[in-house]
Amino acid sequence: MKRSGRSYFERTLDGLVAGIDRTRAAERHAEDGGLLQRVDPRVKVGGLLALVVAAAFARNHLTLVGLLAVAVAGALLSRLPLGLLVGRVWLGTVLLTAAIALPALFLTPGDPAWRLPVAGWAVSWQGLRTVSYLLLRVVTAATLTFLLVFTTPWAHVLKALRVFRVPVVAVVILGMTYRYILLLLESAHAMFEARRSRTVGRLSPGDRRRLATAGVGVLLDRSIRLSGNVYDAMQARGFRGEVHVLDEFQMRGRDWLALAGFAVFTAAAAWAGR
């Protein structure tokens, strides 16, 4: 019998598979031979975070547009698909930020630009400028962060953070959170796949809700027990919070050039954004 629509289990499985694929895609792009992939992780972490700070303190639109253009050029030179940037970063960021900033269009006092036809609410030029400024700032910061995550293996990011004296506790939390999110997705995918293979016919809405609640409880209990076992195993093998990777960081000529480039862009953005 052919079903008329996708079931709850099918939608859940599709979402879990998409989440796992996105995580693995980021790891694959970090191994590509693009421009930023060849730069020392310490330079990328320091340089891109400095540009994020410059975007956060910029006070005019032109500076933010320039930083965004630099970020997009860096993504293209690093062989990151533009569709990935638009769909993964810009779309969600713009929608969320626009939903938060929408009241500013009507609440910011100033010269009216136009009025809503039915409600008669006035949209001021100052409100439009404030909302566009906020959108540009958030999109620029998100794009720069996207460059860091998609051009650097996560273990290298964590090790670079320790070079900048980020506390061990924070690095451990970041590392374990990343791994447990992936593990949780894989466990949930296996559990829902097993549940779907044992389900015959359509379930009533009440049964679907009960299965979803039971699945969340089982997944939570499994993750808590697994986290304790993994932590004990790591402690038994000598883990004390420091991140060790086989690749040793070593500054080369291109890394010094990249460092100089980040310094120039950051200084120019800080000066232009005053």
Work out the pLDDT band at 50, boundaries 50, 70, 90: very high
Cα(270)–Cα(268) distance, integer angstroms: 5
Domain coordinates of the chain in residue numbers?
1-30+166-243, 32-152+247-274
- Give the pLDDT confidence of 184-214 residue by residue, as tens digits: 777 777 777 777 777 766 767 777 777 777 7
> Rounded to an integer, what distance in angstroms lies between the CA atom of residue 40 and that of residue 27?
17
Tell how far CA 4 is from the center of its chain.
Answer: 35
CB 80 within 8 A of CB 151: yes
What mean pLDDT is reported for the chain? 78
Q: Which is nearest to 141 in space by CA: 105, 89, 181? A: 89
Residue 1 pLDDT level (bands cut at 50, 70, 90)? very low
Quote the percentage of the chain above a pLDDT of 70.
82
User: Is the per-residue pLDDT at 170 higher than 90?
Assistant: no
Name the E strands within 100-172. Answer: 112-115, 122-124
